A = this chain, B = another copy of it.
Amino acid sequence: MLTIGHVARRVGVRPSAIRYYETQGMVRPTGRGPNGYRIYTNEAVKLLLFVKRAQSLGITLREIKPLLNLASQGQPPCGHVKQLARTHLQQIDEKIRELQTLRNVLRALLRRKVGRPHANEICPMIERSTAKVE
């Protein structure tokens, strides 16, 4: 039996963010106290941690929501969830590949000597980098 502040601290977000998630249909308090305070259980904490993890992956709230909605509707949605997860897995793989390419470009740039600008280059760093893009 947690108040919004407790949940917020455990999840690492502000109470205002949780209220915002509620407006977006992401979480709902288990109930309300006689004082009107939102009351949550640990399930909410788990759910929000899932949301945060997904977010840190670059998945938007809009994309996360259907996962949660399906999940809250009983048994067989998991098949659909699985399909969504598969799609996201592919996107993540692609993101990783892109980042590795960038990483390699940056590493190559860092290996270059400093202070020896070539003719016709604003800065070797930029020229070399863009050269690989073109």
Assess whether B117 is in contact with A46, with CB atoms less than 8 Å apart. no
A35 part of interface (Cβ distance < 8 Å): no
Task: Knowing A102-B56, A103-B89 are in contact, say whether A77-B126 is a contact too (CB < 8 A).
Answer: no
In chain A between 113 and 129, which residues have their CB closer than 8 angstroms to a CB of chain B? 114-115, 117, 122-127, 129
Q: Which of A's residues lie within 8 Å of B, judged by CB?
A: 43, 46-47, 49-50, 52-53, 56-58, 67-68, 70-72, 75-79, 81-82, 85-86, 88-89, 92-93, 95-96, 98-100, 102-103, 105-107, 109-110, 114-115, 117, 122-127, 129-131, 133-134
- Separation of A86 and B103 alpha carbons in the complex (Å): 10
CB-CB under 8 A from A93, the residues of chain B are 103
CB-CB under 8 A from A123, the residues of chain B are 70-72, 77-78, 81
- Separation of A18 and B95 alpha carbons in the complex (Å): 25
